[in-house]
Chains A and B, each alone.
Chain A
């Protein structure tokens, strides 16, 4: 922290802005390439090839590498983005213009806001301190994430209502109902984590994500300590990001695309990117809380040195886990059929919520018993 104290205010602001832009760049790039991954993985799972035609003119002529990148479709996100930019901007006459334009922005902003409190690595100072790499080290990081990420649903609800047409409307309604039924289970599934992580005798229980990651250093990952919490959180995450077993608001087979039926061109593109940004951030949060963040493997010390090389390797390892989880999201999407709307509701209210409560009770009792001072 001495580092910060030696700087002027404007310098701090400038540095933070640069960091924020870098992180937006990273997350958006990952979101763009998640789209590509989705297309490729779905193609492979269905015995197809996937996008393999797009290529930049000069890269095509590089031997071996050029055709390889072309086959992987590495340049496809560029083409997709450009396509969205150059499409005709159609606004149906029956929409509420203000909210219609506002909705995609509201959908994207929470996804990009939650990343501010997301730790993705650590920096080792010469004094031996470990400074987490993140934009803002909030003490209540997880609360912030839970609060902001559920705002993303407003974008979808607004899109549904402002479109003033039946399918988006149904999508919006489903989205809000789904959000209510999963948000509770999601929050409750995280409480046992903090019970477990907080040490006895500390006045303020740590809600910081950095503390959670540190607690998993050279010990068990929390996914093994609390598998049920991890499972409930994972299911809720799928519902939160509108991914396939729970993509109620979208359900393109029965709602013609749901909330974004009336959207086209770049506004649809923003919804699209927002969905994938949610997935990227969701995967990163799951990695942070349950998969040990940037720490190597459970019960093992990080094999990399405590220098800048170590911090880079840590970040790379964190990204590897996140990408693995993104793959899992895609994998599940192309495996499971969609739940029926009422099944989603009953799963959320009658299964997950009691389960999360029971899980919480169990860990309350367990932690109380464990933390008893030996008399």
Chain B
């Protein structure tokens, strides 16, 4: 148990009772503060430094071969606590020989930024590493509709991120060597 020590207060001296030396000290402090560097960030011109693992606006990303990574498994939609994500599953568009009829792709992918709480569960749950909370932190709009990010917007925000796995490249290689699946 912590021992309580009662500090003895010395009676104030005459100069202390006039307050004046203390006031002088205070004035000195505030005066010296005037010449210190100020801490204000002039926001629209100056931007804060965003740390690496910052949880900003959720975005969809493509792999370096510019392929859609999302397979519309809808796990993020199910895990999303405020139900901000809505996915309409669809097919991979015609013309991609590898992926066509193999995997699905989102036909529409909407994240309602008025509902999103930036928890990052979607990023955590995504088996394809297709959704990331990136460094964008300021989203604004004039109407509620404007605040719903659609697929196009999400890919625009997300861009391309380096891929560790190159799933489709591996698959192709395996196929060429004759041991697919």
Task: List residues of chain A with CB under 8 Å of any chain B CB.
Answer: 41, 43-49, 331-332, 334-336
Shortest beta-carbon distance from A45 to chain B in Å = 5
Question: Is the Cβ of B29 less than 8 Å from the Cβ of A44?
Answer: no
Q: Known: A44-B33, A45-B30, A46-B33. Is A335-B23 also a contact (CB below 8 A)?
A: yes
* Residue among B23, B27, B38 making CB contact with A44, cutoff 8 Å: B38
Closest to B32 in A: A45
Interface residues on B, range: 10 to 19
Shortest beta-carbon distance from A316 to chain B in Å = 24
Known A-B contacts: A48-B40, A335-B26, A335-B30. Give 14 more (CB < 8 A).
Answer: A45-B31, A45-B33, A45-B34, A46-B33, A47-B38, A47-B40, A49-B38, A331-B27, A331-B30, A331-B31, A332-B23, A334-B30, A335-B29, A336-B26
B16-72 contacts to A, CB under 8 A, are 23, 26-27, 29-31, 33-34, 36-40, 42
CB-defined contacts of B27 to chain A, threshold 8 Å? 331-332, 335
Question: Is the Cβ of B29 less than 8 Å from the Cβ of A41?
Answer: no
A49–B26 Cα distance when bound, in Å, is 21
A48–B29 Cα distance when bound, in Å, is 16
B64-84 contacts to A, CB under 8 A, are none
Shortest beta-carbon distance from B54 to chain A in Å = 25
CB-defined contacts of A336 to chain B, threshold 8 Å? 23, 26
What 10 A-B pairs come out closest when comparing CB atoms?
Answer: A44-B34, A49-B40, A335-B30, A335-B26, A47-B39, A47-B38, A45-B30, A45-B33, A48-B40, A335-B27
Closest to A333 in B: B30
CB-defined contacts of A45 to chain B, threshold 8 Å? 30-31, 33-34
A336–B30 Cα distance when bound, in Å, is 10
CB-defined contacts of A46 to chain B, threshold 8 Å? 33
Best-buried of A45, A48, A335 by chain B (most CB within 10 Å): A335
A43–B36 Cα distance when bound, in Å, is 11
